[in-house]
A and B are shown apart, each in its own frame.
Chain A
Amino acid sequence: MPKTLEFDLASIIILGSFNPAIFHPIWFKANGLIRPEEADKAKLEITNPMLSIFGIEWFKLQVETNRFVVQTDTETHFELLSDLVIGTFSLLDHTPVKAMGLNRAMHFKMDSEESWNAFGDKIAPQDVWQGVLQEPGLLSLVMQGPKQRPNQRSEKLINVRVEPSSRTIPGIYIDVNNHFEIKDNDLQKVLNILKESWRDVLINSRKIADELMKEND
């Protein structure tokens, strides 16, 4: 079934304890993490002790006291996104961290409403819902692997979210969240995962999306 990847976004999210006020374009510029002209043209949304939000041409950053989020929709900068995070936390090397998410979100444009509906039907059969809901339709579906059992936790989970795309109609939105639990506030582990796994995560996330879409062929 013909489909086109219309939008492709990568993000790195770290949960822990942060000081949002540090995360200012001038700090990134002073430490050589972004180009001087990028810092000068940065769109600063807000910066205060609770929240910092700014964006430059290729990424948008949002830091709260318990969450660091950086994302880009520029494929040429997917690799550089991890460099930015590695550089940032190599400097802030006493930051306590508890989890990290490496994410790739993709919007596929479908060639017709029929193929779009066929995909939805395949991934969440409507038969199950007949007699339960009137005109049932898929709003959001999240699958997780590996399956979590009581008193068991995996250090890595993959959550795949499928929704109708709002950016391209008719389209499918597939978001692959690679969730890493970080024990003992081990920031070095976060950096190692980024150094060793970021590229593979991006490739595998795309493969997951392609595999789901392939089922519809």
Chain B
Amino acid sequence: MRIPTEQAIAQQTVGTTEHAITEQAIDEYIIAPNINPVPEGSQQAFVNDSARGSTEAPRIVIELPPVFRKPPVTFQPQHRFRVLQKFEGTVLEISEQECRALVRDLTSPGYVEEVTFSIDEISASDRSLAVPGGIFYWYLGYDDHIEGQRYRSSAIIFRRVPAWREKDLIKAQKKAESLIERLGWKREDSSFQR
């Protein structure tokens, strides 16, 4: 009774193609070689993992011509940012020196406040995104470096989503016009009247 999913997976593999695809898809998700590579060793409640690297199939198999084969790349972070508090902000107004924004606390939902901060807090490459309506994330936390040093740090990062395309605007306009027509409203330039 403690292993219901093993039964479920067994059913998938002997079931229809549909189920087999599902099961296969789950396997394909696993990118553990990057995330949890083979440990150096363990014992007692956990098994010594040296066997994993021997006869078990690797979880990612990419068949490429030998010339393309490269060792798997793993993350080797030089520092890690430990988030203590994070906010989502919307730019209300921006001047040459300051940015006024409405921020809501994502760590304590419900807290909303208007803040003003120097635009020097915004990285140069994000300045073009800092326009009224622009959305950003603001993180406060510790920046732990690999050598052991800890810095208190703050980071403002603007969201990057693609601009509206002409075809999106035309599609939205057609949808709006269809809705207006169904509601029986009359259109006069930029305003609508019943």
| Residues of chain A having any CB pair with chain B under 8 Å | 9, 11, 13, 15, 31-37, 45-46, 48, 50-51, 53, 55, 60, 64, 66-67, 69, 71, 73-77, 79-80, 83-84, 86-87, 90-91, 98-99, 101, 103, 105, 107, 113, 116-121, 124-126, 128, 136-139, 142-145, 147-151, 153, 157, 159, 161, 163-167, 169-170, 173, 175, 177, 179, 181, 199
Q: How far is the CA of A138 from the CA of B75 in the complex (A)?
A: 25
Select one of A45, A83, A167 contacting B36, CB under 8 A: A167
Residue in contact with B8 in the complex, picked from A121, A147, A165, CB distance below 8 Å: A147
B36 touches A166 (CB 8 A): yes
The closest CB in chain B to the CB of A62 belongs to B31
How distant is A82 from chain B, measured CB to nearest CB, in Å? 10
Contact, CB under 8 Å: B49 / A139: yes
> How many chain B residues touch the partner (CB < 8 A)?
63
Q: Decide if B162 touches A32 in the complex (CB within 8 Å).
A: yes
The answer to the question of B18 belonging to the interface, with a C-beta cut-off of 8 Å to chain A, is yes
Give the residue of A64, A90, A137, A159 whose beta carbon is less than 8 angstroms from that of B26.
Answer: A159
Count of chain A to chain B residue pairs whose CB atoms are closer than 8 Å in the complex: 187
Contact of B34 among A71, A79, A107, A148 (CB under 8 A): A71
The stretch that binds A, out of B77-85, B97-105, B179-187, is B77-85
Contact of B35 among A105, A121, A144, A150 (CB under 8 A): A105
- B163 contacts the other chain (CB 8 A): yes
> Is B148 at the interface (CB under 8 A from chain A)?
no
Q: How distant is the Cα of A98 from the Cα of B162 in the complex, in angstroms?
A: 24
A137 / chain B contacts, CB cutoff of 8 Å: 42-48
Give Cα A111–Cα B42 distance, bound, in whole angstroms: 15
* A139, B160: Cβ atoms closer than 8 Å: no
Chain B residues engaging chain A, CB cutoff 8 angstroms: 2, 4-5, 8-9, 11-12, 15-16, 18-19, 21-22, 25-26, 28-32, 34-40, 42-49, 51-52, 62, 64, 68, 70, 73, 75, 77, 80-83, 86, 88, 106, 125-126, 137, 139, 141, 155, 157, 159-163
Question: B96: shortest Cβ distance to chain A, in Å?
Answer: 22
In the complex, what residues of A have CB within 8 A of residue B141's CB?
76
Say yes or no: A166 contacts B11, CB within 8 Å.
Answer: no
